[in-house]
C-alpha cells in the first residue's frame, strides 16, 4: 500500500464492539463489526507504524504486519478495553474506532438469571463505563493525536462537533448509521472528518480506501520534528 510513512510511530487503535456480561450466558453488545478499525490497523502497519490493535469480540483475522508491526490484544468488556488501551501507552496516535458500551450491568449474576414465577418484566440496573477516548485526550501521557469516531443516526455534524469539543479531540470521523451502504456491518462507508478547522468528506468508498485517506490526514497533522515513541520501546 502506498501513502505517507508512519515508520517509528506507535499507533494504538481500538476496534469492534464490547460485550458487557449480565450472567454466564448473556451479555449486552452492539452491531459493530470491527471492520473499520481493522482496516485502519492494516493501513497503519502498511505505512510502517508499530500498531497496537485493541479488539473487542469480532470474527476478523488479524491484519498483516506490513512494513511495521502489529500486536493484537483481544478484550471483551469496556473495562478490559480501557485497561488495554491505557496499558499500550505511550503512543503517538490513538484512534478510537471501537463502539464501546456506554453502560454496563451494575452486577454480573454468578448464575443464569431465571425468569421466576409470575414475573412479567425484568429491570436491569446499568452504570456508566469510563470514556476511554475522553480519558486519553486528557491523559498526562496524551498521544500527540487523539482521533474519535461518531456513529450517528441524525444531526451528524452537530453531534460530531459536540464530541470533538467535549472530549478534546484533534479529529473525529463521523458517519451516519442506519442507512444502506455505510455503517457497522458494511464493507463500505462514508465519513466526514471534523477538526477545529476542518470538514473533510471521504467516500463513499471501501473501508480500506477510507482507512488510507484517514491515515494520510493523520500523517499531515503529526509534527515532523517528533521522532515518535515507536522506536524507543
Using CB under 6 A, list all residues that contact ligand CTP. Answer: 14, 78, 96, 98, 100, 102, 129, 131-133, 148-151, 163
Q: Residue 200 forms beta bridges with which residues? A: 193
Spatial CA neighbour of 44 closest among 169, 173, 218: 218
Q: How far is the CB of 112 from ligand CTP (least distance, A)?
A: 27
Q: How far is the CB of 101 from ligand CTP (least distance, A)?
A: 7
d(CA 26, CA 111): 11
User: Closest CB to ligand CTP among 65 and 198?
Assistant: 198
User: Closest CB to ligand CTP among 64 and 196?
Assistant: 196
Whether 30 is catalytic is yes
**Active-site residue (options: 30, 67, 206, 213):** 30
Q: From residue 83, give the alpha-carbon distance in Å to each of 36, 126, 233.
A: 22, 20, 19
Ramachandran bin of 126, using left for φ above 0, alpha for ψ from -120 to 50, beta for the remaining angles: beta
d(CA 69, CA 200): 29
User: Closest CB to ligand CTP among 48 and 184?
Assistant: 184
Q: How far is the CB of 151 from ligand CTP (least distance, A)?
A: 5
Q: Which residues are catalytic?
A: 30
Amino acid at each position: 500500500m502506498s501513502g505517507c510513512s508512519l515508520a517509528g510511530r506507535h499507533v494504538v487503535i481500538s476496534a469492534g464492539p464490547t460485550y458487557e456480561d449480565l450472567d454466564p450466558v448473556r451479555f449486552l453488545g452492539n452491531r459493530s463489526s470491527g471492520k473499520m478499525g481493522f482496516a485502519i490497523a492494516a493501513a497503519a502497519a502498511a505505512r510502517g507504524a508499530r500498531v497496537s490493535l485493541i479488539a473487542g469480540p469480532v470474527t476478523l483475522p488479524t491484519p498483516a504486519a506490513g512494513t511495521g508491526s502489529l500486536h493484537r490484544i483481544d478484550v471483551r468488556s469496556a473495562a478490559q478495553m480501557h485497561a488495554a488501551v491505557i496499558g499500550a501507552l505511550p503512543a503517538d496516535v490513538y484512534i478510537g474506532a471501537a463502539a464501546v458500551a456506554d453502560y454496563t450491568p451494575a452486577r454480573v449474576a454468578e448464575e443464569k438469571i431465571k425468569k421466576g414465577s409470575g414475573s412479567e418484566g425484568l429491570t436491569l440496573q446499568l452504570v456508566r463505563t469510563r470514556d476511554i477516548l475522553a480519558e486519553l485526550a486528557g491523559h498526562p501521557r496524551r498521544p500527540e493525536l487523539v482521533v474519535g469516531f461518531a456513529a450517528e443516526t441524525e444531526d451528524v455534524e452537530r453531534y460530531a462537533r459536540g464530541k470533538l469539543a467535549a472530549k478534546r479531540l484533534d479529529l473525529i470521523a463521523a458517519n451516519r448509521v442506519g442507512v444502506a451502504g455505510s455503517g457497522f456491518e458494511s464493507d463500505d462507508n462514508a465519513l466526514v472528518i471534523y477538526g477545529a478547522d476542518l470538514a473533510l468528506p471521504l467516500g463513499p468508498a471501501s473501508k480500506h480506501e477510507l482507512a488510507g485517506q484517514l491515515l494520510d490526514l493523520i500523517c499531515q497533522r503529526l509534527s515532523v520534528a517528533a521522532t515518535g515513541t515507536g522506536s524507543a520501546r
